[in-house]
Chains A and B, each alone.
Chain A
């Protein structure tokens, strides 16, 4: 088990004039090998929640264990937690800072105290997982495209060989082919290494065809959960929470009364109906 959160609540600036309860009684379990999505509008608490996953934030009440470590325990080894759980923030490419992509990816393993040889092995491993070539590794992070920068930033986190990869809005600001590419690489990574992945997003159509299980955050609580199909079927409820379901879900429900959330499945269904008629 990677994450086990039991009734966690979190209040920003507790006791201060701007006190704000951002998480309320959230319980969530993420198991080894899961591929989950966490969606919610801005301010719903989703980023606050994922910052609990590597001990950046600690609950004001309730309990969370990360890879078996209780982050509230005063003796907890948070450094270890942070190498187990790799958090990729929004616009991670803004955090690239080294002279070459290779040096940037090497930063974390070097800091973990690995030898030069081990570090380079990690760099090559992480780069190949996100599809970065040798040629790109020698370039400055400023010379490569937006999609490549983002993959370089993700590789920098993967180089720690975390058990759990958390990505906050990994496709924000990318063009459609850049988005496809990132999601494809993440799916492939999950399939090949079995790494546990959580994607935080409000891009509904992207996530419908990527993750296996969805949590919907609203006003600091987990308001819905299930497979993408189960969640999107309740699109009226999603819209009330300021979210949107894929166009296809609405269309198929409206015309045929069925739950379908990808273009491929819709095509198959409609052609099936047409052939039977």
Chain B
């Protein structure tokens, strides 16, 4: 779906490289979380996935297309949609369904088909009952789901989300995460989620950690989070249960490593507690 080869980038020739020789491949249907501290280069990387930024060195293939091929820009943007942090910056219309229809209208899709697409997109994010509402009166989580529906209306193969839950409360976060997991499992949508929230990253198939423009980890979450000290040294955090189990193991207690969900922690501790 997305492939980078020796991707290097800087914002100007005089400044140091923000991305250094990045090689990654994201396959169809994968759910990938990208972590990294502020300024690590993760947002810069994400912007290469649909040609918002172009590499200074190396190559990026988005849905098989070289992102430097300007004539294919629309094809790239249609295949790979992006959702950003602040939902208020991404909503253009005054009625929810008109906002979702914005992209297909611009793509020249026939009216009947737009109707169908918009209904499908709103249904997929669970916002059908709000289709006649004004977006500014919705909650943050609802607005962000509208932004996702707007991207879905282009029928992309992959959605890249840059900290979509950073401004949301726990309910809003859960709504957005449930939507993403549903899209991934039911619609086989490829999801790339950039986040600071470790509890969200544990839901991914694969976690990539970026530090100073380089990939330092690329593995399933239970492996990536197993070395808590190393993750903390990278300026990141692990889920609370992971940290607790790690500390208990260090203190000599016989509990499994790589515990990332509260359910696994229940199980492990219940055995210890007898």
Contacts and interface: CB of A to CB of B under 8 A. Distances in A.
A172 interface: yes
Interface in A233-259: 242-244, 246-248, 250-251, 254-256
A3 B110 CA distance: 60
B238 to A, nearest CB: 9
A267 B170 contact: no
B139 A42 contact: yes
A255 B38 contact: no
Contact of B247 (A176, A244, A267): A267
Interface residues of A, number: 35
A202 B170 contact: yes
Nearest to A254: B266
A246 B196 contact: no
A178 B196 CA distance: 11
Interface in B251-274: 251, 253, 262, 265-266, 269-270, 272-274
* Secondary structure call for the A interface: helix
B163 to A, nearest CB: 7
B118 to A, nearest CB: 26
Contact of A173 (B163, B170, B172, B235): B163
A175 B236 contact: yes
A175 B196 contact: yes
B39 A263 contact: no
Interface in B122-175: 139-140, 163, 166-172
B241 A173 contact: no
Interface stretch (A28-36, A104-112, A154-162, A268-276): A268-276
A205 interface: yes
B262 A251 contact: yes
A50 to B, nearest CB: 16
Among A204, A256, A263, chain B packs the most CB atoms within 10 A around the CB of: A263
A263 B139 CA distance: 32
Interface in B226-251: 235-237, 239-241, 243-244, 247-248, 251
Interface in B62-121: 85
Nearest to A271: B251
Interface string A8-34: 000000000000000000000000000
A180 to B, nearest CB: 8
A41 B241 contact: no
A9 to B, nearest CB: 22
Nearest to A202: B169
16 contacts: A43-B139, A145-B38, A147-B38, A172-B167, A173-B167, A176-B196, A176-B198, A177-B235, A177-B236, A178-B37, A242-B169, A243-B170, A246-B240, A247-B262, A251-B244, A271-B248
Given A42-B168, A255-B269, 10 more contacts: A173-B196, A174-B38, A175-B38, A176-B236, A202-B169, A242-B170, A247-B241, A248-B244, A250-B262, A270-B244
Interface of A: 41-43, 145-147, 172-178, 202, 204-205, 242-244, 246-248, 250-251, 254-256, 263, 266-267, 270-271, 273-274, 277
Interface of B: 36-39, 85, 139-140, 163, 166-172, 196, 198-199, 235-237, 239-241, 243-244, 247-248, 251, 253, 262, 265-266, 269-270, 272-274
Counting from the closest, the 10 A-B pairs by CB-CB distance are A176-B237, A177-B235, A247-B240, A242-B171, A175-B37, A255-B269, A202-B169, A42-B169, A244-B170, A41-B169
